[in-house]
Amino acid sequence: DAKTTQPNSMESNEEEPVHLPCNHSTISGTDYIHWYRQLPSQGPEYVIHGLTSNVNNRMASLAIAEDRKSSTLILHRATLRDAAVYYCILRAYSGAGSYQLTFGKGTKLSVIP
């Protein structure tokens, strides 16, 4: 999978919006942009994914730049339960028969009460 770059950590106040950035300048035309998050002592949890258009679901919104070289995960109203490590992942067919996820170090989001 192509490489992504994320800030190591971010802070947000509770009940405020959070914008988590991700750079992926080497993205190819068939790479999907996936976001997962991992709460302490739990496995990763799927958040959202998209290809070109902005996407919304009950958890978050994904804003994708027109050139697709960057994207932003938007949490509209941060809660204490949103404190987690957020991973931005480019996902494409591996050629070996699988779509495994290639995780980086992610962004550790802290939410301040």
Partner 1 sequence: GAGVSQSPRYKVAKRGQDVALRCDPISGHVSLFWYQQALGQGPEFLTYFQNEAQLDKSGLPSDRFFAERPEGSVSTLKIQRTQQEDSAVYLCASSLGQNNQPQHFGDGTRLSIL
Which positions lie near partner 1, rule CB under 8 A?
Answer: 32, 34, 41-46, 49, 85, 87, 91, 94, 96-106
In the complex, minimum distance from the CB of residue 17 to partner 1, in angstroms, rounded to a whole number: 24
In the complex, minimum distance from the CB of residue 100 to partner 1, in angstroms, rounded to a whole number: 4
In the complex, minimum distance from the CB of residue 96 to partner 1, in angstroms, rounded to a whole number: 4
Cβ nearer to partner 1, comparing 46 with 110: 46
> Per residue, what are the HEC states of the chain?
CCCCECCCEEEEECCCCEEEEEECCCCCCCCEEEEEEECCCCCCEEEEEECCCCEECCCCEEEECCCCCEEEEEECCCCHHHCEEEEEEEECCCCCCCCCCCCCCCEEEEEEC
